[in-house]
Amino acid sequence: MEPMFTPALHRQRHQFVIDFVLDLGCCECVLLKQLKFHREIELLVGVDIDGVQVKKKMHGLAPLSTDYLQPSYDQLRIELYQGSVTEKDARLRGFDLVTSIELIEHLTLADVELFSEVVFGYLTPEAVIVSTPNSDFNPFLPGLVGFRHRDHKFEWTRAEFKSWAMKVCLQYGYEVELTGVGQAPPGQQERVGFCSQIGVFHRLGGKERYNMFDEDAEDVFSYTLLYSIIYPSLHDNNIFRRVLVCEVVYWAEKLKRRWIAEETGERDDTDDLCQESHVDTEETQTACGAEMKTLVDQEEEGRELRVSVPLAVLWCCCPKVSVLSGSVSHLRLLLMDEPGVKLSQDGSAVLLNHQEQDLDDDDEEEHRADLEDSGYTEAPVPPQR
């Protein structure tokens, strides 16, 4: 069946959900793996009755190394449960979206009634997406005899699916839009519909209706938690400070190299940094106007040269630093007690040591490559607090 469709039918079903997040019948966690990259999602929960299969696939949902190097602003939590969609569990109430992709046809008709009661009557999410095979389309599937899968208990026609959907809407207070994925052959779409039919349900009454149900809801916990992970995010103070310090030191080093390039008559690729600035405050314009002409100050202490990068210039040139700190004054407060950053006596600039051997071309190129490959400097990570 899959070669008939481009993209493959299962990919079209998943993309339909993404374009629109508790996933009932998560099994191999394929949909959850795609949804985790959507940073606007705060909580993903998957439920499946086959705990063994879930355990085999659940570690594929763990954070990647890039999630630690570049944590998001919003925090994502993923949980996987073993349980039946015909049983209630209070931990699954209050979701914005519940998906059931090619699941209900594996239930008996009696269990479909329980599924409807649990999902629409107890969980009461704001939206529900249900997909199931369209038996009207089956004659176009080569070699198919009977149902599409040996475990299917039924396969509904479009009329049967619509009848069930309208009954759910009337009973539990939803409205539904019927659609699908998997186009029929040319000239047959209107007659047979989509290969996989989909109902998109929206709860009438919004949050107010949920609160009305919430007062009488049962606090039952029938599912078994198999997996839970919290992704790194800037909500974690330790992660926030580590990222801020790394960004500050990295960009201060880049600005220092710009000064070195100007002193030696070479061109550095950081020359246009501040031209890309997205901020337009009076304070920043002063810094990027008058101070940018000298960019960094220098003073000699004995045989050591110290380069001073003004925080105002740093804040102007690095969008991420400005977003994280909010203002130059707040940036100063955040950096005052950080051992990974050395500030000037008045706290207005980052101080970087610079010795003559720093000008060695090979060392400079190697250092530049290390910085750009990692996205951060090798500055010490601040201790846990």
Among residues 151, 162, 149, 216, the alpha carbon closest in space to that of 193 is found at 162
Q: Residue 109 maps to which CATH number?
A: 3.40.50.150
Where would I find the H helices in 173-281? Answer: 189-192, 206-214, 237-264
| Intervals of the chain under pLDDT 50 | 1, 17-20, 211-213, 270-271, 275-296, 301-302, 356-360, 363-364, 367-385
131 with 190, same domain: the answer is yes
**382 part of a folded domain:** no
Sequence-separated (6 or more) residues with CB below 8 Å from residue 318: 247, 248, 251, 273
Retrieve residue 141's tokens. Answer: 């599937």
**40 part of a folded domain:** yes
320 with 247, same domain: the answer is yes
In one letter, which amino acid is 309?
Answer: V
246 with 176, same domain: the answer is no
> Which tens digit of pLDDT belongs to each residue from 71-92?
888 788 889 999 999 999 999 9
Sheet holding 22-24, edge to edge: 174-181, 196-203, 127-133, 97-101, 22-24, 43-48, 77-82, 224-230
Retrieve residue 127's tokens. Answer: 């939206």
128 with 43, same domain: the answer is yes
Among residues 54, 42, 61, the alpha carbon closest in space to that of 224 is found at 54
144 with 13, same domain: the answer is yes
Range of the domain at 200: 9-230
216 with 245, same domain: the answer is no
**378 part of a folded domain:** no
**1 part of a folded domain:** no
HSE-up (13 A, CA, CB side) for residue 72: 16
168 with 54, same domain: the answer is yes
Based on the number of CB atoms within 10 Å of its own CB, is 343 exposed (0-12), middle (13-18) or buried (19 or more)?
middle
118 with 47, same domain: the answer is yes
In one letter, which amino acid is 264?
Answer: T
**241 part of a folded domain:** yes
59 with 131, same domain: the answer is yes
**248 part of a folded domain:** yes
Pairwise CA distance, residues 138 & 142, whole Å: 9
pLDDT of residue 131: 95
225 with 257, same domain: the answer is no
Sequence-separated (6 or more) residues with CB below 8 Å from residue 376: 69, 246, 247, 249, 250
Of how many residues is the chain composed?
Answer: 385
In whole angstroms, how far apart are CA 46 and each of 60, 197, 212?
13, 22, 26
pLDDT of residue 264: 75
Strand ranges in the chain using DSSP code E only, listed in sequence order = 22-24, 43-48, 77-82, 97-101, 127-133, 174-181, 196-203, 224-230, 297-301, 304-310, 349-354
> Which three-class secondary structure state does DSSP give residue 303?
coil
pLDDT of residue 281: 42
Pairwise CA distance, residues 184 & 191, whole Å: 9
180 with 51, same domain: the answer is yes
Number of H helices, E strands in the chain: 14, 11
Pairwise CA distance, residues 29 & 78, whole Å: 11
244 with 199, same domain: the answer is no
- Helix, strand, coil share of the chain (percent; to 5): 45, 20, 35
**360 part of a folded domain:** no
- Domain total of the chain: 2
Pairing of strands 174-181, 224-230: unpaired
**368 part of a folded domain:** no
